[in-house]
Amino acid sequence: MDKAAPDPLQIVRNRIDAIDEELHRLLIERASVIAELIQIKGTSKPGAAFRPDREADMMRRLAQRHDGDLPFATVEHIWREIITVFTAMQAPFGVVAGPADDAPAMRDAIRFYFGFSVAVKMAESSEAAVAEIAASKQDIAVIAARSEERWWSGLVGAGAPKVYAKLPFVELRSRPADYPAYVVGPPLKETPAPDIRLLAAKNAPGLEASIGAYGGVVAARAGDGLLVELPIASAPGDVVGEDGVSLEAAVEVGGFSQPIRFVAERVA
């Protein structure tokens, strides 16, 4: 008797099952590699476990080789979950969130970036969130970029927490969870050179115009204080206001990698 022809649908389902099995196997293998890493260097403090420069490079490589109809935001979210889980294996941490003018959007941004494997708690103010992680020395804070508080005062000093990332890192026209926020953490064991410096400065006549002329952005204002994002290519001493006051006296309170900007994306 002639054998029945293979069911095309079942063949495709079998391929999907095989891919899923391989993905799971590779995740288990990755966990075993992290376990070896922990044995070699011991359980790390968060400052040693967080590698924002490596995470940025990872996302850039993903963006460069991405193809097909799968939305890149989905890929980003999957990898962010992987990064969070394996970072927490090396050094457990939680997230302290400052208040936001759009609380649901802030919550979505935190869960998109850090997943559901870490605890998230709310602070009464952005300043309180920074103070809490400074005391814990292991948690991180997510602060709304539109915060009207002078929260960055808590980042001044060699041992103080610092900003090491800004959300969203991948900018897509149709991306979910696009609420702008800063990620603040304990001092990193290895501080990479950022693409963008974050400076705490005192305002002066003409200074904001000079900041813009050098490619910088005034990210926040509180009283006479400014929080300035300045490209690493621009020297703070070159940014001068009308009365000769420059950013030379500004205090660096962190920095972050240049975001990935998608000009266009494929739509399935």
Instruction: Please list the pLDDT of the chain residue by residue as tens digits (268 residues).
Output: 567 777 889 999 999 999 999 999 999 999 999 888 888 776 666 666 788 999 999 999 999 999 999 999 999 999 999 999 999 988 889 999 999 999 999 999 999 999 998 999 999 999 999 999 999 988 999 999 999 999 999 999 989 999 999 999 999 888 889 999 999 999 887 778 899 999 999 999 999 999 999 999 999 999 999 999 999 999 999 999 998 999 999 999 999 999 999 876 655 4
Domain assignment present for residue 258? The answer is no
**DSSP letter assigned to residue 55:** H
89-117 burial, b if ≥16 CB within 10 A, otherwise e?
bbbebbbbbbbbeeeebbbebbbbbbbee
Q: Structural domain tally of the chain?
A: 1
How far apart are alpha carbons 107 and 117 in whole angstroms? Answer: 14
Residue 222 lies in a domain: no
The answer to whether position 202 is within a domain reads no
Using the structure block, give the residue that is written with the tokens 């030379």: 248
The answer to whether residue 219 is domain-embedded is: no
61 sits in which H/E element: helix 52-65
Q: Is residue 113 part of a domain?
A: yes
Q: What is the pLDDT of residue 46?
A: 62
Is residue 255 within 8 A of residue 261, CB to CB? The reply is: no
**3 lies in some domain:** no
- Provide the domain limits for residue 132: 43-192
The pLDDT value given to residue 259: 94
Residue 140: C-alpha distances to residues 67, 128, 135, 164, 204 (Å): 33, 12, 11, 10, 32
CA gyration radius, the chain: 22
Tell whether 94 is covered by a domain.
yes
Q: Does residue 156 form part of some domain?
A: yes
